[in-house]
Structure 1
């Protein structure tokens, strides 16, 4: 699901409701296979019943602070442990609008119509509350959805969604259903439906999107809302053709990034930036929380990459994450690490990204509209107080901490400088220290501090009041190594092997 209408700030998500048959399942947030053994222990059944309850609440529109995609995914992964009656209940939750039974109002109440063109079949009903406003609206949606296909598959080069065969009656065309979703608090859903015979991690899928995106309900231009919703949801369908069990934070972040690629005029995804690393640099990039928005706000990381290395860099990440092919089937952080190997490496790129977030107007094409990353400490150094004591900062994985130093008014001569001394974690944990010097009369300069194998480093930069506005030090933990499958909640549902290493930092203003 792209977002929930009822949330104070709309949240993105994907309804990864996988095929309804029990058996081998995919492990969401793992990036690696997980075979369900079919056991029906008390704990397994309790988890399944809880997942069924949560999914029921989501479709009833009563779980606006729960991520619907993960609720439905948990249901799919645990439904083997349900009783036969409850399993039929779960199957109904995952039904198409033209399927029966459907216990939660997803089934059309009147006979559906269908129109196919290009790569898309669009389904709708002529009457009832699910009816679109006009046949003209249907035609516009069909044209727009084909434009989304052309952009994402043909122009950007992503794999086409897995064919659903004869499902939907469109001879393998991609099915989209227009449905009144506002009463459920939804904009759209992407439903992964059936495993391929050759790879149990690749799924066919279909979309549900709101039937009219009425301005009085969604408070924006209906076609603009439809465009960004379709771009986001269709990219989920594409992702299911790479690996439907990939880490959900990667799915949501890149799908939110895709919105802006398809419709740059919308800027709808900016609403999530307060939860991104622009505002929360100390929160790991691969954070995914039910009811949280970090996984949506961090589309900005992929914007940073694509502006520097081209849009293909995101496709490269998905190629490494794919559950097929040579060199693929990597979990999210590992796939990013591999994709950045030829661009200076993850540590260097992530360090520059984290530093760039302190001055987004210079780091992004549209950065003037973005919030800037804050600092954990700000100091003003003077002749009377020219130094800070050694101070230790713990930095979480795939996150950063910023420090700012400003020269006092009495550091007026050109010979004043600032010495930064760092005693950080060992190089094996992928630490980085980046220094940004913002000048008054010259362009800003950025440098990466050379750290020894033991993590120690030192650098000196200009620090005159006449020429320097501020020096920003960014401490970075770029580690992408994890112990997977620990229910840790991050990449590969794991726990970082460098969860919060410490950086000891000392700043000294001195005169040459």
Structure 2
């Protein structure tokens, strides 16, 4: 598994130390068609502060958003000695979205700074200066285009592309004597990615109708990997609105992906997976610019492996989500959790493998349901749309999320590449013995999470294990199953049939003939209140920016060894 200490992570990795010390972190999560709170722009994201902070004014939150972007692009060397705090991680596209939505609350002087940071790399020097993370300034800009994509680049200054131009035999597969090989490789890669999304039935990227001189989607290559926390790439728009609308994007990729800045994978591999990830953001903008941020990132991270299966960059995130932290909510917008949640998209794609253009149809259908206009539009938020897509397939979110948690305990048995995944961990393990014949485990579960408990036998001879569960009621997403491992045989999965109140009692063989029994409790609740209307400084953030109804739900599992 890739070490996060030695590899930069796509997007905004962390804030600078001062921001961490102050607890400053700005995130975005919107997506409900509900009325926005009156004290912030309609549809604006709800940036976060550290737990325990006093209520912040909109002006203070806007300044934090500005500081977040500035921290991401601050010059410096990547910290390879210690892993940055994952709680401070954020994707740069989302950081820009926050700043754009909040810039009106800044002072006039700071609004100018924000406008400079939100500028295209080719904007005038008065707007975009040479000191910016992606600003060509006065350097001559050239472009290489086809019918879909235009790559903008410069041969001079800090953002210059590699000068190789020796064709297929060089570092980058290009054409000798044409544009620089790196530019040709970038154009070919982005074109392949764009065509594949269209072939899979996704909407074409919204045209910018000639911004920067071309109607094609604009891709800029600049040195964005040289900051304290290297950026692989990002996508943005000149048409940012605090609303559920479609917008025309442009994207920025690094100008060389050199190994000194991106030490994991080859430069070519890093460019490819970044193209798949970031161009999916461009495609997402054709559905809903302000959809739930966790779904933006989890689906884009999932797409990396669909397009370029051998790079496997997205595996580095798995310890931070449902596989590594099963008791965390799937839709939590914090740290690296949204990236790690790509494994749920992989689950959906394998469970419902009907495809178009070698991509599972179910993910595209969910994006259509999220949209407010166009084919399939139902103005839903992320978890609503997932539930709707599952119901159309004769199942429901509770059932499928429970299966997902079962897959995560035995990834080798289910996922196509599961042999490379570490199983979701146990919450606790207990030994049942003649001197300790019973155990009652009390715990809580947040929505869209699970806990796994193992019970092993210290008995000789035949026994049975009586299992009583008291969980969420079925309406609130309660679900439980047993993983039963007879000695010398494979594990067997059995659903525990809960009654309407979320309770059940079952018994299974135990004693010397059984290696262990696991009881797995699931909270698959998908109920939220205050969608898009929670206070601006409330955290953490989940689907629709709302408050989960069924978090911190008290649960209990009681086991007792009994005679057959």
TM-score by length of 1: 0.88
Aligned residue for 2:426?
375
Aligned residue for 2:22?
none
1:298 CA drift (Å): 1.4
In 2, distance between residues paired with 1:125 and 1:253? 33
Aligned residue for 1:456?
503
In 1, distance between residues paired with 2:468 and 2:345? 32
In 2, distance between residues paired with 1:420 and 1:97? 62
1:343 CA drift (Å): 4.7
1:320 and 1:200, CA in 2 relative to 1: closer, same or farther beyond 3 A?
closer
1:327 CA drift (Å): 5.5
Task: Tell me whether 1:127 sits opposite 2:172 in the alignment.
Answer: no
Aligned residue for 1:11?
9
The answer to whether the 8 Å contact 2:31/2:291 transfers is: yes
1:7 and 1:87, CA in 2 relative to 1: closer, same or farther beyond 3 A?
farther
1:497 and 1:88, CA in 2 relative to 1: closer, same or farther beyond 3 A?
same
Aligned residue for 2:223?
180
In 1, distance between residues paired with 2:311 and 2:466? 44
Aligned residue for 2:280?
235
1:159 CA drift (Å): 1.2
Aligned residue for 2:525?
479
CA deviations on 1:409-468 (whole Å, 9 max, x unpaired) are x3444xx332211122222211111111233444432122111111111222232433x3
CA deviations on 1:71-124 (whole Å, 9 max, x unpaired) are 322211111223443323221111111112214422214111111114111111
In 1, distance between residues paired with 2:5 and 2:233? 15
Task: Tell me whether 1:160 sits opposite 2:204 in the alignment.
Answer: yes
1:332 CA drift (Å): 1.6
The answer to whether the 8 Å contact 1:9/1:271 transfers is: no
1:248 CA drift (Å): 0.8
Aligned residue for 1:75?
99
CA deviations on 1:205-237 (whole Å, 9 max, x unpaired) are 111101111123312311111000110000111
Q: Aligned to 2:59, which of 17, 20, 45?
A: 45
**1:6-405 equivalences in 2 (<5 Å):** 10-13=8-11, 28-32=28-32, 34=36, 36=41, 43-61=57-75, 65-67=88-90, 68-100=92-124, 101-103=127-129, 104-105=131-132, 106-108=134-136, 109-133=138-162, 134=164, 135-154=180-199, 156-171=200-215, 173-184=216-227, 185-194=230-239, 201-219=245-263, 220-289=265-334, 292-310=335-353, 311-325=360-374, 328-341=378-391, 342-388=393-439, 390-405=440-455
Per the alignment, in what secondary structure is the counterpart of residue 243 of structure 1?
coil
1:267 and 1:399, CA in 2 relative to 1: closer, same or farther beyond 3 A?
same
CA RMSD of aligned residues (A): 2.5
**Runs of 4+ that moved beyond 4 A:** 5-9, 61-66
CA deviations on 1:476-497 (whole Å, 9 max, x unpaired) are 1101111123234111111110
1:495 and 1:61, CA in 2 relative to 1: closer, same or farther beyond 3 A?
farther
Aligned residue for 1:19?
none
The answer to whether the 8 Å contact 1:254/1:302 transfers is: yes
The answer to whether the 8 Å contact 2:244/2:288 transfers is: no
Per the alignment, in what secondary structure is the counterpart of residue 286 of structure 2?
helix
CA deviations on 1:148-189 (whole Å, 9 max, x unpaired) are 1122221x2211211111013222x11111111111221111
1:9 and 1:394, CA in 2 relative to 1: closer, same or farther beyond 3 A?
farther
Q: Aligned to 1:493, which of 529, 542, 545?
A: 545
Question: Which structure has more RCO (C-alpha within 8 Å, separation ≥ 6)?
Answer: 2
Which consecutive residues of structure 1, in runs of 5 or more, have no partner in the other structure? 16-26
CA deviations on 1:3-41 (whole Å, 9 max, x unpaired) are xx99766434489xxxxxxxxxxx941203547279xxx
The answer to whether the 8 Å contact 1:392/1:503 transfers is: yes
TM-score by length of 2: 0.80
1:366 and 1:343, CA in 2 relative to 1: closer, same or farther beyond 3 A?
farther
CA deviations on 1:357-396 (whole Å, 9 max, x unpaired) are 11221121211111111222211223443322x3322111
Q: How many residues align?
A: 483
In 2, distance between residues paired with 1:343 and 1:282? 27
Which consecutive residues of structure 2, in runs of 5 or more, have no partner in the other structure? 14-26, 44-55, 79-83, 165-179, 354-359
The answer to whether the 8 Å contact 2:412/2:418 transfers is: yes
